[in-house]
Amino acid sequence: MYKLIVNHSGLLSACPTNRQYLSGGYIGEPHMKVFSVSIDNATYNDLYTNRDRAYVLGDGLPAMQELPGRVYYQVEVGVLTKV
């Protein structure tokens, strides 16, 4: 399991494991959202490759926008998938 940390616009901030998250150092601003998610290896590798332009869709986050360079991922029922 991972903790997916995103800002108010849905931009990925960090994706530590639960253990790393609980050890500290991942305190974000008040507007950061944290999701507990499962991620398969292929999606994690893709997320890592696109980490500087990865946007997350989920509860309380903006809808998808057709802007160049963005790569979208969806949180559904605790699982992260690429859109």
User: Could you report the per-residue pLDDT of 29-74, keeping only the tens digit for each?
Assistant: 787 999 999 999 999 999 999 999 999 999 889 999 999 999 999 9
Is-contact 5 34, C-beta < 8 A?
yes
Residue 26 has pLDDT above 90, yes or no: no
The reported pTM is: 0.90
